[in-house]
Amino acid sequence: MTSESFQPIQGMSDLAPPEIYLWQRLEETARDILHRYSFREVRTPVLERTDVFTRSLGDATDVVQKEMYSFADRGGRDLTLRPEGTAGVIRFVAGQGQDAQDARLYYIGPMFRSERPQAGRRRQFHQLGVEAIGAPSPAADVEVIALQAHLLTAWGLKDFRMELNTRGAPGDQERVTAGLRSALASSQSVLCADCRRRYEQNPLRILDCKNETCRETVAQLPPVTDFMSPEARAYLDTVADMLERLEIPVTRNPRLVRGLDYYVHTVWEVTHMGLGAQDAVSGGGRYTLTLGNKTIEGVGFAMGLERVITALAGQGVKAADLEAPPVVWLVAQGDAAFEENLILMQSLRMRGVACGMDLQGRSMKAQMRAAHRTRSRYVIIRGDQEMERGTFQLKHMEDGTQEELDMPDLMKRLMPAKGLAISDTEEE
Ligand code: HAM
């Protein structure tokens, strides 16, 4: 094996300490907040039948056209590694019957897109997403947007910007398509090859093209909302008004379309200034999805956790600072003390104290070095004398002071250190 083969495949990463401490912190904070909003977790498989995605994301989207990891398994079934979370959650909800009509679900997990890897664009990345199932209601959209802002703020993200638009009411799509085709008719020849195809398939996708000439052409277009019904514009106005009352700052962007085609009515995207070209940290909207004979309506968003973490790191957040060191390190001189420490360590762990010790029988010096390395708050030292007296030397690592204690006093010292009531120690 060459050292190269120890690397994960391109565009995918191992998530390990110290970086993982920041992931854990984000997830803990998020679970607490999601609970406050009555969202419950769902874990759907990372592998789905390919049609779960092709039927819902839209044939003309980049994700379906060129980014899915699809393959036939040994039984010849056409499968895809999920490129996003909404379609799988809706498949789950569709199978649940009436009870799931107003489900409020969240998910945290890996997604897979076979994109060209570059800064901020991974082939395996992680999303935290929510889906609130239910019929269109501006208040439901606002609630989900408020939750998204709450999460980003609670994580400490600064300088993010949220843009808001509408994809129109369900009946508006034909009018928008016709309106855009006629507005773009004379510029067809300057569009890129992809956009010439999009012109036929779904001209709305042209608004999302990153090609410079296409962007210049799009900049000349009237806002898409001009082609939409008064109902769609009123819905968007209501959402914007309610957000203002909740003091959640948003900017209207009439050219925002989002990269997936299941959206109707409200769509939004959050960008962060410190991220460069791939600056979207979160995106969402209201959708209608039909799977089999079921049509499910809902509203949701998904945040790209790698991008949130990159943005936080850019603000100076250090993952290593979030590591929780052990409370106690046990050090033994001699075999008898080693064995007693093993028993004490298990008992402390059962009582909720994070602790550790050297298991190789190393010298006192090496054990103390390990204690320093782990940044433990206390060290318990036991040698022959302490064994005879039934005592422990408790060293406070912060100031280097040391005291000799018997078992009840040792427990009194250690239990409050991890927030347990002293009465918890009395069974000792
Ligand atoms: P999306 O905009 O495709 O929406 O993805 C959401 C977020 O995932 C993006 O804003 C970005 O932060 C992150 N992301 C996407 N692709 C990559 C990548 N290749 N590398 C790193 N991060 C990436 C959705 O997936 C919808 N399912 C959101 C939704 C939920 N809409 C309604 N409900």
Q: What is the per-residue DSSP string for 72-114?
A: E-TT--EEEE-SSSHHHHHHHHHTTGGGGGG-EEEEEEEEE--
Contact 352, 418 (CB under 8 A): yes
Closest ligand 1 atom, residue 287 Cα = 32
Structure tokens at 304: 């790209």
Q: What is the CA(73)–ligand 1 centre distance, in A?
A: 26
Phi, psi of 228 (to 5 degrees): -95, 170
Taking the C-alpha atoms of residue 46 and residue 115, their distance in angstroms, rounded to an integer, is: 18
> Which residue has 């990269």 as its token pair?
259
Taking the C-alpha atoms of residue 373 and residue 376, their distance in angstroms, rounded to an integer, is: 8
Structure tokens at 389: 């007296």
Q: What is the CA(196)–ligand 1 centre distance, in A?
A: 25
Nearest CA among 380, 402, 397 for reference residue 330: 380
Structure tokens at 293: 């004979």
DSSP-derived letter for residue 265 is: E
Q: What is the pLDDT of residue 231?
A: 96
* Beta partners for residue 282, in sequence order: 270, 303
Structure tokens at 73: 């398994």
Q: What is the pLDDT of residue 4?
A: 74
Nearest CA residue ID for atom 8, ligand 1: 304
Torsional sign, CA 122, 126, 127, 128: negative
Q: What is the CA(137)–ligand 1 centre distance, in A?
A: 23
3-state secondary structure labels for all residues of 210-223: CCHHHHHHHHCCCC
Q: What is the CA(304)–ligand 1 centre distance, in A?
A: 6
Mean pLDDT of the chain: 93
Taking the C-alpha atoms of residue 416 and residue 238, their distance in angstroms, rounded to an integer, is: 52
Q: What is the pLDDT of residue 208?
A: 85
Q: What is the pLDDT of residue 418?
A: 56
Q: What is the pLDDT of residue 416?
A: 66
Closest ligand 1 atom, residue 121 Cα = 20
Pocket around ligand 1 at a 6 A CB cut-off: 84-86, 113, 115, 121-122, 125, 127, 129, 131, 259-260, 280-285, 287, 300-302, 304, 306-307
Taking the C-alpha atoms of residue 127 and residue 44, their distance in angstroms, rounded to an integer, is: 13
Query: Between 86-94 and 50-57, two packed helices, what is the crossing angle to 10 degrees?
Result: 110
Closest ligand 1 atom, residue 258 Cα = 2
Q: Give mean pLDDT in consecutive 10-residue pieces for the chain, a chain of 428 residues.
A: 84 96 98 98 98 91 93 97 98 90 96 93 98 97 98 96 96 92 93 92 89 92 93 97 98 92 96 92 97 93 98 95 94 96 96 95 96 96 96 96 97 72 42
DSSP-derived letter for residue 191 is: S
Structure tokens at 78: 């056409």
Q: What is the pLDDT of residue 420?
A: 45
Q: What is the CA(168)–ligand 1 centre distance, in A?
A: 21
* Beta partners for residue 130, in sequence order: 106, 301
Structure tokens at 275: 């991220």
Closest ligand 1 atom, residue 83 Cα = 25
> Which residue has 């802002």 as its token pair?
149
The full length of the chain comes to 428
Nearest CA residue ID for atom 1, ligand 1: 283
Question: Residue 316 — left, alpha, or beta (φ > 0 → left; ψ -120 to 50 → alpha)?
Answer: left
Q: What is the pLDDT of residue 428?
A: 39
Contact 302, 88 (CB under 8 A): no
Identity of the amino acid at 387: M
pLDDT digit string, tens, across residues 182-191: 999 999 999 9
Contact 180, 201 (CB under 8 A): no
pTM of the model: 0.92
Identity of the amino acid at 267: V
Pocket probe for ligand 1: among 145, 307, 308, 309, the residue whose CB has the most ligand atoms within 8 Å is 307
Identity of the amino acid at 212: E
Q: What is the CA(109)–ligand 1 centre distance, in A?
A: 12
Q: What is the pLDDT of residue 59?
A: 85
> Which residue has 């001009």 as its token pair?
226
Nearest CA residue ID for atom 10, ligand 1: 282
Taking the C-alpha atoms of residue 46 and residue 216, their distance in angstroms, rounded to an integer, is: 38
Question: Residue 421 — left, alpha, or beta (φ > 0 → left; ψ -120 to 50 → alpha)?
Answer: beta
Contacts of 384 (CB under 8 A, 6+ apart): 333, 334, 336, 337
Torsional sign, CA 142, 53, 231, 176: positive
Identity of the amino acid at 163: E
Structure tokens at 93: 């909800």
Write 386-391 long-range contacts (CB < 8 A, 24+).
Answer: 386/337, 387/334, 387/336, 387/337, 387/340
Closest ligand 1 atom, residue 63 Cα = 3
pLDDT digit string, tens, across residues 401-413: 999 999 999 999 9
